Each structure stands twice: as C-alpha cells, then as structure tokens.
Chains A and B, each alone.
Chain A
Amino acid sequence: EAQVTQNPRYLITVTGKKLTVTCSQNMNHEYMSWYRQDPGLGLRQIYYSMNVEVTDKGDVPEGYKVSRKEKRNFPLILESPSPNQTSLYFCASSLRQLTYEQYFGPGTRLTVT
C-alpha cells in the first residue's frame, strides 16, 4: 500500500531534550516536506527536500533540522525543543516538486513541557 508513515504519533517531552520524528514514504517520491499545523495559523512549511541530499528552509525553519540521506526517509530533528514547538506535525511527499498531489503522513502530535 502506498503510504507515508510517521513515528511517533504522539510524544510528550521536556524542554531541551533532543528528539527525532521519522518520516518514510514507499512511493519513490522525489519531493518531501515537513509542516506544522497550529490553530489559527494553518499549515506552515518547516523544511523541504527536492531530492536526496537536497534540503531547503520553508517558512518556519527555526529550531528544526532535517536530513535526506535516502530517498524514502526524511527525519525531522528538534535539537533543543521548546514549548512553542508544541504542535501537530505532518510529513508529506509528492512525485516531484509541488505539481502533483501531496501525500501526507498521519501526523505527530508533539507536546513540549
């Protein structure tokens, strides 16, 4: 089944404790991205990747890192999480950059205390 998977789905952590949210797609898509969704602010792009080893900042990259060592995986790293990073995070992929349908993972609900 074609899908985007994210782990973990739910995470409660404390300020400053490094964490990684994994994202994997099995559709051989070139383009992958991370979003956060907050009430009243909608979906905002954090980082995106056009292909392996090619990543770039989205609209709200501060406090986040990403890597794209393999085509299928695009982990999101929070080196020192803070409470303002409490949010619902979505990973998405598409065949190429944005022209095609975006496939989203199920989301990761992160709470930083």
Chain B
Amino acid sequence: RKEVEQDPGPFNVPEGATVAFNCTYSNSASQSFFWYRQDCRKEPKLLMSVYSSGNEDGRFTAQLNRASQYISLLIRDSKLSDSATYLCVVIINAGNNRKLIWGLGTSLAVNP
C-alpha cells in the first residue's frame, strides 16, 4: 500500500459545482498535512495547510480525519481557474528527520 494515496481522477465538473477530493495516508504517526496545487507543467504551490480542527480559506475547506487516516479538500463554487492537479502532502517522522510524502495528485477540470 502506498504511503499516500489519491484518486487520480480526472474529475470533470461544471462551473459552480462543489467538488471534494480525499487523500488517505498509511502512517498513523503522520504529523502535518498540506494541499498543494500544480498547474500543467508548472511548479507546485501551497494551497493550504490542514489543521486538526479543519480550516477554510474562501471557497476551499480542508479537513483531517485522524481516526480514518485521511484528509479532504472541498472546493465550492468551482471556477474555470480551479482546473489543476491537487497534490496531497504528508509529513512523517523518519528517524531524526522529518520526511515529506507526496501523493500523485488528483486532476480537476472545471468546464464552462
């Protein structure tokens, strides 16, 4: 089983739709969680951190479920500009260091 798993999609949704992605992780000692956004052939950029109590940033809501070991990203009122790949990132302790584990990403296409 992969350490971080995401549904690759693609998710095709109309403008204005609400869409949600999940990301499951296998290491129960995972410490920190993030969602990054990557546009085609460009660099990943941080979308939002994921806090234990859940957090919201405008149309985006991130949640963490430690019991079931997944994080989620909800996008409300989808815009054409939301079309991108969304990468789930988990930080785990690895010996004396921390390690960043990247999911393969979920592709979203928002259609007019």
Tell me the A residues contacting B by CB distance below 8 Å.
40-45, 56, 88, 90, 97-99, 101-102, 104-107, 109
Contacts and interface: CB of A to CB of B under 8 A. Distances in A.
B42 A99 contact: no
Given A88-B41, A99-B32, A107-B42, A42 B91 contact: no
Contact of A101 (B41, B46, B97, B102): B46
A106 B44 contact: no
Nearest to B44: A104
Given A45-B100, A98-B98, 18 more contacts: A42-B87, A42-B102, A42-B103, A42-B104, A43-B87, A44-B102, A88-B41, A90-B44, A98-B32, A98-B99, A99-B32, A99-B91, A99-B98, A102-B100, A104-B43, A104-B44, A104-B45, A105-B43
Contacts of B44: 43, 90, 102, 104
Interface string B68-112: 000000000000000000010001000001111011110000000
B31 to A, nearest CB: 9
Contacts of B100: 45, 98, 102
B57 to A, nearest CB: 14
Contacts of B45: 104
A45 B102 CA distance: 10
A99 B98 CA distance: 9
Nearest to A102: B46
A106 B42 contact: yes
A106 B32 contact: no
Interface in B4-54: 32, 34, 36, 41-46
